[in-house]
A and B are shown apart, each in its own frame.
Chain A
Amino acid sequence: SQKIEQNSEALNIQEGKTATLTCNYTNYSPAYLQWYRQDPGRGPVFLLLIRENEKEKRKERLKVTFDTTLKQSLFHITASQPADSATYLCALPNTDKLIFGTGTRLQVFP
C-alpha cells in the first residue's frame, strides 16, 4: 500500500544551523510533492511545491529536493531561527486527494 514516512521524532537544532527534514514515500509515483508548516492548534500553511522533473527548489531560506529514484524529498531550512519552530508536513497527490505524512516537529533553540 502507499505510504509516506516522516521522522516522527522531533528535530532539535541550534539557531543558525541548517535543519534538514526527510520525507520518504513508497508505492507512489507522484507528479509533485508539497511541504507545509503547521503551528500548534493551527491549520497547515503551504510553503513549497516541487515537481517530478525538478531536482531542487528554493524560496528564501528554504530549499527542497526531490529524488524520484530514491523516492525521497529533503527539506532544508538554512540559518534557522527560533521562529522556524513548528511541525513540517509533506504531502503528495494520489488520484483525487492529497496524502499527508505525519509531520516532523522542528525545535530551534537559541
Chain B
Amino acid sequence: GVTQSPTHLIKTRGQQVTLRCSSQSGHNTVSWYQQALGQGPQFIFQYYREEENGRGNFPPRFSGLQFPNDSSELNVNALELDDSALYLCASSLEAIPDEQFFGPGTRLTVL
C-alpha cells in the first residue's frame, strides 16, 4: 500500500517541512492533496514519471519531487498558520486515474 511519514509534525511559522510518501509498487503517478478540517482534499500537484504533471492553486513555496524508487516528497517553505492540515499522497497507474490509492496522511500543525 501507500505509506507516508511522519504521521504527525509540529512546526513553527516560517520554518520549512518535508513530507514523504512511498507509492504502491509499479504506480508511476503520485498526487498530493491538502485537506483542512471539515473540507475535502484539495489538489496540490501531481508527478508523473518524475515530472510535475499538473498543479492546483498553491503558491510556489509548495514543491515536490518524485524518485524512481516509488518514493516522493512534498516540500513546503516559509510555513504559514493556514498550512496546518492533513497532507495526503495518492498513487495511481495513470495521470487521470480510475482509482487512486491514498496514504494515511501526515497531520501538520503550524504554530
Q: Considering the chains assembled together, what is the distance between the CA atoms of A36 and B56 in angstroms?
A: 20
Report the stretch among A41-49, A55-63, A68-76, A78-86 that lies at the interface: A41-49
Closest to B48 in A: A96
Interface set of B (CB-CB < 8 Å, partner A): 2, 31, 33, 38-43, 46, 53-54, 56, 86, 88, 90, 95-105, 107
15 contacts between A and B (CB under 8 A): A8-B38, A41-B86, A42-B105, A44-B88, A44-B102, A46-B99, A46-B101, A89-B41, A91-B40, A95-B54, A96-B53, A97-B56, A98-B97, A100-B41, A102-B38
Among B38, B43, B100, the residue within 8 A (CB) of A46 is: B100
Interface set of A (CB-CB < 8 Å, partner B): 4, 6, 8, 32, 34, 36, 41-46, 49, 89, 91, 93, 95-103
Closest to B97 in A: A98
Chain A residues with CB below 8 A from B102, complex form: 36, 43-45
Closest to B40 in A: A100
Closest to B45 in A: A97
Chain B residues with CB below 8 A from A102, complex form: 38-40
Q: Contact: B40 with A96, CB < 8 Å?
A: no
Q: Contact: B98 with A32, CB < 8 Å?
A: yes
Q: Contact: B41 with A96, CB < 8 Å?
A: no
Say yes or no: A93-B43 contact (C-beta < 8 A), given A42-B105, A43-B90. Answer: no
Q: Which 10 residue pairs are nearest across A and B when measured between Cβ atoms?
A: A96-B54, A43-B102, A100-B40, A97-B43, A102-B40, A46-B99, A100-B41, A44-B102, A43-B105, A43-B88
Q: Contact: A97 with B54, CB < 8 Å?
A: yes
Closest to B90 in A: A43
Among A6, A98, A99, A103, the residue within 8 A (CB) of B100 is: A98
Q: Contact: A103 with B103, CB < 8 Å?
A: no
Closest to B102 in A: A43
Q: Considering the chains assembled together, what is the distance between the CA atoms of A44 and B100 in angstroms?
A: 9
Q: Contact: A41 with B39, CB < 8 Å?
A: no
